[in-house]
Chain A
Amino acid sequence: MLEIKDLRVSIENKEILKGINLKVNAGEVHAIMGPNGSGKSTLASALAGRDYFDITHGKILYEGRDLTELSPEDRAREGIFLGFQYPVEIPGVSMVNFLRTAINSMREYRKQDPLPAGDFLKLMREKKKVVEIDSDLTNRSVNEGFSGGEKKKNEIFQMALLEPKLAILDETDSGLDIDALRIVSNGVNKLRSPENATIIITHYQRLLDYIIPDYVHVLYKGRIVKSGDKSLAKELEEHGYDWIKQEVDSEV
Chain B
Amino acid sequence: MTEQEKILSEVTDSDYKFGFHSDIETETIPKGLSEEVVRIISAKKEEPEWLTEARLKAFRHWQTMKMPEWAHLTIPEIKYQDIIYYAAPKQGAKYESMDEVDPELLDTFNKLGIPLEEQKQLAGVAVDAVMDSVSVKTTFQDTLADKGIIFCSFSEAVKNHPDLVKKYMGSVVPYTDNFFAALNSAVFSDGSFCYIPNGVHCPMELSTYFRINAANTGQFERTLIVAENDSYVSYLEGCTAPMRDENQLHAAIVEIVAMENAEVKYSTVQNWYPGDKNGVGGIYNFVTKRGICKGDNSKISWTQVETGSAVTWKYPSCILRGNNSVGEFYSVAVTNNHQQADTGTKMIHIGKNTRSTIISKGISAGKSQNSYRGLVKVLKGAENARNYSQCDSLLLGDKCGAHTFPYLEVDNRSAIVEHEATTSKIGEDQIFYCNQRGIDTENAISLIVNGYAKEVLNKLPMEFAVEAQKLLAITLEGSVG
Contacts and interface: CB of A to CB of B under 8 A. Distances in A.
Given A91-B452, A92-B452, A48 B440 contact: no
A61 to B, nearest CB: 20
B204 to A, nearest CB: 28
A101 B433 contact: no
A101 B439 contact: yes
Interface in B432-474: 432-441, 443, 447-448, 450-455
B427 interface: yes
A62 to B, nearest CB: 15
A100 to B, nearest CB: 10
A162 interface: yes
Interface in A166-190: none
Interface in A97-137: 97-99, 101-103, 105-106, 109, 114, 116-117
A194 B455 CA distance: 46
A73 interface: yes
A76 B435 contact: yes
B22 interface: no
Given A105-B443, A117-B113, A91 B433 contact: no
B436 A82 contact: yes
Interface residues of B, number: 24
A201 to B, nearest CB: 15
Interface string A46-87: 001110000000000000000000011101110001101001
A117 B434 CA distance: 20
A114 B438 contact: no
B430 A92 contact: no
B167 interface: no
Interface in B401-446: 427, 429-430, 432-441, 443
A248 B434 CA distance: 38
B120 interface: no
B435 A49 contact: yes
A26 interface: no
Nearest to A102: B437
B435 A72 contact: yes
Nearest to B452: A92
B44 interface: no
A158 interface: yes
Contacts, number: 79
Nearest to B437: A102
Contacts of A87: 433
Contacts of B447: 90, 93, 97-98, 101
A88 interface: yes
Contacts of A82: 436
A49 B438 CA distance: 12
Nearest to A80: B436
A75 B439 CA distance: 11
A115 to B, nearest CB: 11
Contacts of B441: 73
A98 B437 contact: yes
B111 interface: yes
- Classify chain A: how many residues form its interface, as a range: 20 to 34
B430 A76 contact: no
Interface in A137-159: 141, 158
A116 B115 CA distance: 13
Contacts of A88: 427, 429-430, 432-433
Given A73-B439, A102-B439, A93 B427 contact: no
B421 to A, nearest CB: 15
Contact of A73 (B113, B427, B429, B440): B440
A71 B439 contact: no
B185 to A, nearest CB: 41
A12 B451 CA distance: 33
B437 A93 contact: no
Interface centre among A48, A71, A84, A105 (most CB of B within 10 A): A105
A162 B437 contact: yes
B440 A92 contact: no
Contact of A77 (B111, B433, B438): B438
B438 A109 contact: yes
Contacts of B111: 114
Contacts of A71: 435, 440
A151 to B, nearest CB: 11
A141 B438 contact: no
Given A71-B435, A117-B113, A90 B440 contact: no
B452 A48 contact: no
Contacts of A141: 451
A75 B429 CA distance: 17
B431 to A, nearest CB: 9
Nearest to A106: B438
B436 A48 contact: yes
A76 B438 contact: yes
A249 B375 CA distance: 67
Contacts of A102: 434, 437-439
Contacts of A73: 435-436, 438-441
Interface centre among A50, A91, A97 (most CB of B within 10 A): A91
Interface centre among B433, B440, B441 (most CB of A within 10 A): B433
A149 B335 CA distance: 38
Interface centre among A72, A84, A87, A117 (most CB of B within 10 A): A72
A208 to B, nearest CB: 24
A101 B454 contact: no
Contacts of B113: 116-117
Nearest to A86: B429
Nearest to B447: A93
Contacts of A98: 434, 437, 447
B454 A72 contact: no
A75 B432 CA distance: 12
Contacts of B437: 76, 98-99, 102, 105, 158, 162
Contacts of B440: 71, 73, 105
26 contacts: A71-B440, A72-B432, A72-B436, A73-B435, A73-B439, A73-B440, A75-B436, A76-B435, A76-B437, A77-B438, A87-B433, A88-B430, A88-B433, A90-B434, A91-B451, A93-B448, A93-B451, A97-B447, A98-B434, A102-B438, A102-B439, A105-B437, A109-B438, A141-B451, A158-B437, A162-B438
Given A49-B436, A92-B452, A98-B447, 20 more contacts: A50-B432, A71-B435, A73-B435, A73-B438, A81-B436, A88-B427, A90-B434, A90-B451, A92-B451, A92-B454, A93-B447, A97-B447, A98-B437, A101-B439, A101-B447, A102-B434, A105-B437, A106-B438, A141-B451, A158-B437
